[in-house]
Amino acid sequence: MLRTIKGVAFATYKEWAAYRSHMLVSLFVGPLYFLVQYYIWSSVYTGQDLINGFSLIQMLTYYGITTLINYCIMDFAGWNLQMLIRTGRFITFMLRPVSHRLFAFSQKIGHRMLGFCLELLPVYLVFTIAFDIHLIPANILWSILSIFLGFMMMFLVNYCIGITGFWLTRTDGIRSIILLFRDVFAGVFIPLTFFPELLQKILFFLPFQYISYVPVRVFIGDYQLGGMEFTIAQIVGIQAIYVIMMLLLSELMWRKGIKKFTGVGA
Amino acid sequence: MIHAIKIFLSGVKVALASRMAYRGDFIIRLIVMLIGDLLFPMITLLIYQSGASFPGWNLYEVLLIQAVFMIAKGISFPFFYGMVYNILNKVREGTFDLMLIKPCSILYFSVVSSFNIEYIGSFFGGVTILIYALANLQIGISLISWMNFLVLFAFSILVLLSFTLIMSGTLFKWVGNSRVYEIFNAISTFSLYPNTIYSKAFQNLISYIIPIAMIAFYPAAALLNRLNSGVFYSIIVCCLFFLISRAFWYMMLKNYTSAGG
């Protein structure tokens, strides 16, 4: 299995390295989005020290870490799978002696390895030098573990969305709507503590916060949502349980969906 | 002129027919576009609900700016924004040649063959928020303010067209880079908030060099009677920006090699 992961990841790395200029767009887009947040929150914090438990520095740190973590976990497995199903090209994977999920996961590893070099590291430097935001994890080991679990969660959520392609001819619409909710409820646009308390409690039980919000809070060093507070070890443990549940769900969906595949495309 | 309208109508007809082949997906996409655009008003609402605010701007004034952005998007995007996706695909496949041999202006044909009804959701969402914001602002808007708004709104559409030309022009050289959308999305975000939250230098940049503020801030400011004399310079910059982007598009077209990528 490790040989497969290594082989596919390396091939994907080389394939995407040919399009490295596409990835370098992040050098422009990431800091630009951050600049918007910088102006918004600097203005909003005028005359206020704390908003929803965040100081201005903590808020900017939140957005900085969210940007960097998204470079770590970004994923296109769902789009890829539904495209393969829709075009009928998925048939070739039925003949391969490797599960498509493992193949797609290995592709993601290769893709993000390149992203780490071309997106995360340069943008980290921009944040540090240009914005004077020092992104240092409260506990490096818990942070790495939580980011890895976020990496898995992102993959599994997207993969499940891709599996819906077995039932739906075109999943662009449904995929877009789920992706939008995923990002909103993962705390990408605004910390989840800004949402009404009841919604925060509901969000705790959905898988989305484990993609980005939990890794970000673990990075910062404390966790709270909907009035609930957990230690870092507890929330990472809960995150791991959710990843296992999502893995089981993807397996279940896969077994149901594969029976629908006809190989003719649409 | 009649010939041009006929081409436009056939472009619309073909685009609608092809999109309606997957009606369910179309309706979902329409809703997604609308919800996606509501994201920024939602963030604004959450900020104000938490007791914070943009100094000097109440919630409804900020929502008004964001509503104008959505309306501008909802009008302009169905008509020409689709050309970015169209050119991206055709250049990548090397099939843009088919556009070049048509007996009409290549730029015009690129625009009319890219009609995309999906973005119309932004228009209705924007109008709804505009009405909501105006109802809560309870300010009397004079006829002059509405006239100013309409004039500036026309320049807002011109700026969006200019960005579309720059983005699609880039794709003749930067083959297949779907991330040009992200660049535009990031840049246009600056137009969603009051100009005064930015530093003075940055305000000048987005008003007099790259007229992003014209997309939503200036038209909304016209309705709120908050226009300053700088808007006249910004109008001139908008015209120059359009001429430059148009020239850029034709310059980049010369880089098309038919080779795909």
Residues of B in contact with A51 (CB under 8 A): 50-52
B172 and B253 Cβ atoms separated by less than 8 Å: yes
B32 contact residues in A (CB cutoff 8 A): 173, 176-177, 180
Instruction: Tell me the average pLDDT across B119-128.
Output: 88
Q: Enumerate the domain spans of chain B.
A: 2-253
What would the DSSP string read from start to end of B185-228?
HHHHGGGGS-GGGS-HHHHHHHHHTS-GGGTTHHHHHHHTT---
Rounded Cα distance between B145 and B251, Å, is: 39
Could you tell me if B210 and B188 are in contact, meaning their C-beta atoms sit under 8 angstroms apart?
no
Domain membership flag for residue A43? yes
pLDDT digits (tens, 9 = 90+) for B51-108: 889 999 999 999 999 999 999 999 998 888 888 888 888 888 888 888 888 888 888 8
**A264 falls within a domain:** no
- Residue A97 pLDDT: 83
pLDDT of B120 over the 90 cut:
no
Please check whether residue A194 touches B, CB under 8 A.
Answer: yes
Give strand pairing partners of A54: A51
Q: Are A220 and A53 spatial neighbours (Cβ–Cβ below 8 Å)?
A: no
Which domain, by its residues, includes A33? 2-258
Predicted local confidence at residue B163, as pLDDT: 95
Q: How far apart are alpha carbons A106 and A73 in whole angstroms? A: 13
Whether A266 is in a domain gets the answer no
* Three-class secondary structure of residue A52 per DSSP: coil
Confidence of residue A169 (pLDDT cuts 50, 70, 90): low
Q: Is residue A227 part of a domain?
A: yes
d(C-alpha A256, C-alpha A23), whole Å: 36
- For A205-243, how does the pLDDT look when each residue is reduced to its tens digit (9 = 90+)? 999 999 999 999 999 988 988 888 899 999 999 999 999
- For the segment A67-92, the average pLDDT, to the nearest whole number, is 87
- What is the Cα–Cα distance from B169 to B251, expressed in whole angstroms? 8
Say how far apart CA B137 and CA B64 lie, in whole Å. 9
CA angle B210, B214, B217 (to 5 degrees): 125
**pLDDT at A21 > cutoff 90:** no
pLDDT of B82 reads 86
* Mutant choice from A24, A25, A80 vs B, greatest count of B C-beta within 10 A: A25
pLDDT score of A17: 83
Reported in sequence order, the residue ranges of chain B that DSSP labels E, i.e. its strands, are none
In a 3-state reduction of DSSP, which class is residue A265? Answer: coil
Predicted local distance difference test score (pLDDT) of residue A94: 81
Mean pLDDT rounded to a whole number for chain A: 88
Answer yes or no: are the C-beta atoms of B32 and A180 closer than 8 Å: yes
For chain B, give me the number of helices (H) and strands (E)?
A: 12, 0
Confidence class of residue A68 from pLDDT cuts 50, 70 and 90? very high
Half-sphere exposure of A106 (CA within 13 A, CB side): 18
Residue corresponding to tokens 């990548």: B92
Average pLDDT over residues B180-187: 89
Q: How many residues does chain B have?
A: 261
A223 by DSSP, 3-state: which?
A: strand
Quick check: A76 contacting B, CB < 8 Å?
no
Residues in chain B within 8 Å Cβ distance of A44: 47, 52-54
What's the pLDDT score for residue B260? 67
Contact criterion met (CB < 8 Å) for A29 and B53: no
Specify the pLDDT at position B257: 79
Closest Cα partner for A155 from A205, A80, A67?
A80
Joined together, the tokens standing for residue B242 give 């359009």
Please give the ipTM for the structure prediction.
0.86
**Quick check: helix, strand or coil at residue B176?**
coil
- In terms of Cα–Cα distance, which of A131, A1, A123 is closest to A74? A123
The whole-chain average pLDDT of chain B stands at: 88
Q: Each residue of A103-132: pLDDT tens digit?
A: 999 999 999 998 888 888 999 998 899 888
How many other C-beta atoms are found inside a 10 Å radius of the C-beta of residue B1? 5
Cβ neighbours of A135 (radius 10 Å): 16
Q: Quick check: is A263 in a domain?
A: no
Confidence of residue A264 (pLDDT cuts 50, 70, 90): low
Task: List CB contacts (< 8 A) between B51 and chain A.
Answer: 48, 51
Phi, psi for residue A194 in degrees, rounded to 5: -80, -15
| Closest of A165, A149, A172, A168 to residue A247, by C-alpha | A149
Position A244 confidence tier, pLDDT thresholds 50, 70, 90: very high
Question: How many domains in chain A?
Answer: 1
Give residue A265's pLDDT.
Answer: 60
Q: Which of A33-37, A108-112, A245-249 has the highest mean pLDDT?
A: A245-249
Greater confidence (A5 vs B251) lies with B251
Cα B35 from chain centroid (whole Å): 17
Q: Verify whether the Cβ–Cβ distance B47 to A194 is below 8 Å.
A: yes
